[in-house]
Structure 1
Amino acid sequence: MSTLASAGEAVFRPVRTGNAFEETVERLLQAIRLGVAGPGERLPAERDLAARLGVSRVTLREAIRALAAAGYVESRRGRYGGTFVTEVLPPVGGGRPREELAAGLEDVLTLRRVLETGAAEAAARRELTAADREHLRVALEEAGTTDPAEYRRRDSRLHLAIAEATASGLLTSAVADVRIRVNELLDAIPLLDTNIEHSHAQHRRVVARILVGDPAGARRAMAEHLDGTAALLRGFLS
């Protein structure tokens, strides 16, 4: 068995979450970062790779297109074509060492998960006022922007609106603080169109669960949303 094949068994394993696109991107980036598929090398054939990851070929193609747009892979046609890792990988975080960016990644992700799933649950438990509900709806609508330049800001505002719906000033401040740290990490990775589409759908589910007063559902929906972002951050930065 070749080195690529044997090492790939550990990386190209079935995805486990509801964020198939994001985790597929993470797995492909892991393979590239770990040298399972080094610069200039070809990734396994699409049919084989989709089967090993346990995702549809449509999802795999979306992930490959996203990585191609970000400069990590390129597609070649012809008899010896396929998807190849680029010879020179793009810098991460504007040239900052990846180790520096990744050092506190898990700490930030852990804190964010505790705070934001808790905020979604607490907001759903509370009897919201008409003003609270309108604030959430407006923030959700604004977060649905297709303008990449506005996406991060409006996404942040929605997450803060959810925290504000808890009526806890301390929790809202804590979510704001961790969001600053998260945005520093997000600014170091590319915006992927498919992930933005997924985020919009997940945002709608989170807000819907809050508005109907479903604490457990709101927590689950927020956890799924955060897991998708975490997968991309780990893939690009770890």
Structure 2
Amino acid sequence: MSAPSGPRPLEYERVAGELRQMIVDGELQPGDRLPSEGELTARMRISRGTLREALRVLSAQKLLTSSRGVNGGTFVAEPSPDDVVEHLETSLTLLSRSRVTSAHLLEMRSQLEVPAAELAARRRSEEDLHQLEQSVAGMNEAGDPSVAHLNSHFHLLLLRAAGNPVLEMMATPVFTVLRERFHRVEPGEEFWLRVAAEHAEIVAHVRDRNSRGARRAMRSHLSGLRDTYTRIDVSKLDNLRAG
């Protein structure tokens, strides 16, 4: 006797899943207009209320968009990079409260940013280099809380310099969740001075197009961040136990 597989999805969830799969499989392409409500309800043997609820679900997931007028209707949307980031950010935020730890997020950063630094050294433009140098200079001059924002911005600039937009889409939600997790903790001036110096070292390698040096400097930088975040996590846990 097989074990129960959990509650069956509601009818509108089933319909939303079928339509979502059609989009993923390419049966429905971005820009395609969905068949009329009457045609879909007849084809899928569902009520209009069920179909409308399914379409609302897919619209909330940025997979469908609607417009009014003579040429209006419901169309398959093409998610923007911001849509992807928003979805990943929401999911990671929720998971970070239970199953995803800071260690997991920091490990993911290394997987993304170490090779990104190498790529940035190979592919960066003069404008990329200018913005990275400005970021380093800004960190040396800024006070809290601006320095924390400049720190995150530096890492995003480096990812953009790598020339692969997927890297930025994958890393931005990780940055955001980590920032929210530690935004109430002040590491101190000494920490930020060290971070600025390490950023400057990375930029020097990027400037020289030294891909191995950039990779090595980024790995060392993230290792130091991991140690700091781990100490903060342990300290927060001890404070909670003491309280």
- What interval of TM-score do these two structures reach, taking the shorter chain for normalisation? 0.5 to 0.7
Deviations 1:48-68 (A, max 9, x none): xxxxxxxxxxxxxxxxxxxxx
1:177 deviation in Å? 1.7
Task: Kindly report which structure 2 residues correspond to 1:69-148, keeping only aligned pairs within 5 A, or say none.
Answer: 104-126=101-123, 128-148=124-144
**Deviation digits for residues 111-147 of structure 1 (CA, Å, limit 9, x no counterpart):** 0111111111110122x32222212222222232340
TM norm structure 1: 0.54
Once residues 221 and 118 of structure 1 are traced to their aligned partners in structure 2, the CA distance between those partners, rounded to angstroms, is 11
Identity %: 24
Paired with 1:193 and 1:129, the residues of 2 have a C-alpha distance of 32
- Give the secondary-structure state (helix, strand or coil) at the position aligned to 2:223: helix
Match runs of 1:1-238 below 5 Å: 104-126=101-123, 128-238=124-234
Say whether the 8 Å CA contact 1:112–1:178 is kept in structure 2. Answer: yes
Match of 1:121, as an amino acid?
E
Tell me by how many angstroms 1:189 deviates.
2.6
Q: Distance in 2 between matches of 1:102 and 1:125?
A: 36
Q: Which has the higher contact order (CA 8 A, sep 6+)?
A: 1
Q: Compute the TM-score of the two structures, normalised by the length of structure 2.
A: 0.53
**Alignment partners' CA distance in 2, 1:118 and 1:182:** 20
Could you say if the C-alpha distance between residues 171 and 119 of structure 1 is closer, same or farther in structure 2, counting changes exceeding 3 Å? same
* Structure 1 segments unaligned to the other structure (5+ residues): 1-98
Counterpart of 2:190 in structure 1: which amino acid? T
Query: 1 CA distance for matches of 2:156 and 2:214?
Result: 15
The question of whether the paired residues in 1 share the 8 Å contact of 2:129 and 2:203 is answered with no
Secondary structure of the equivalent of 2:141? Answer: coil
